[in-house]
Structure 1
Amino acid sequence: MTLLYLEDLEPGQRFPGTTRIRIEESRVTAFAAEFDPQPFHLDERSARASIFRGLAASGWHTAAVTMRLLVDSEFKPAGGIVGAGVDELRWPRPVRPGDELRVESEVLEVRPSKSRPEQGLVKVCTTTFNQDDEVVQTSVSNLVVLRRTKPA
């Protein structure tokens, strides 16, 4: 595992995911029951009558799975994946039981911190795909990344 310091990152770099996670129906309904208890996340019959036309994972479930996949990916910023905020989060299509998700991240921007010379901010677009390479989530996040050395 090679840690990536701020100086190692530049716009356009891509980091593929190294694992996939299969979305099980029992996990969809368990997550929804605890965190997003809407009928289209809990019950197939209710879900068929909804805009989803079938059981769909909560977007927040997709976001949580994406985080796990991101941690397991080749993107290893020094200091960990420490979020400073999310500029954009989109779910263009539902995640269904049986889907297998994977991620890919792209560095959009790198900038040293003016107030904290030991770190900087990296803007990253993370895209989550299903097994058919359809996009199920995109996010643009700002991450705190350590610098290898403090500037003089």
Structure 2
Amino acid sequence: MSNDYYEDFSVGETYEFGEHTLTEDEIISYGEQYDPLPFHTDPDAATESVFGGLIASGLLTVSVAQRLFVENLLQGSKTSGALGVDELRWKQPVRPGDTLHVTCEVTGKDELEDGFGIVRFQLEIGNQSGSTVASLSTPVRYMRKHTT
């Protein structure tokens, strides 16, 4: 992929990338550090929850997607980073053994006067069954090739 600059993206383009399988240890470790709810940290207590078992924190799910997004699209490009996250939704629990991947669509572009532009991405985080487990949109700032 050679999407280094703002101009290298077109609205409607779609990218699919990554695979990361979450382990029970990874889910528990993240939960203990950052989201210590019983259904993220205690497999026995999680069976008594509305989820019926251990699930990943939604923030862990988004962190995995961010890593895949960076490794497969942003790394090495002329980006100065995302400006935020919009419309974040958790749609389905992520469980130990689930393998996550990302589908990313360019949904908009805006040129800025400072030699940069904003590329808007819609990310759908899916699992091995083809279900969408989370989604978000994010505007990312990219350097422009040609500024006038």
Aligned to 1:50: 49
Aligned to 1:8: 8
**How far is the alpha carbon of 1:81 from its aligned partner?**
6.8
- Residue-pair matches, total: 148
Provide TM-score, normalisation by structure 1.
0.90
Aligned to 2:142: 145
- Report the aligned-residue RMSD: 1.6
Gaps of at least 5 residues in structure 1 are none
In 1: Cα distance, 2:51 partner to 2:127 partner: 16
CA contact (8 A) 2:3 2:73 kept: no
| Deviation sequence 1:58-91 (CA, Å, 0-9, x none) | 0010011001111232566832471101121011
In 2: Cα distance, 1:38 partner to 1:122 partner: 35
Aligned to 1:107: 106
In 2: Cα distance, 1:75 partner to 1:106 partner: 14
In 2: Cα distance, 1:93 partner to 1:81 partner: 31
Aligned to 1:131: 128
State the AA in 2 paired with 1:142. Answer: P
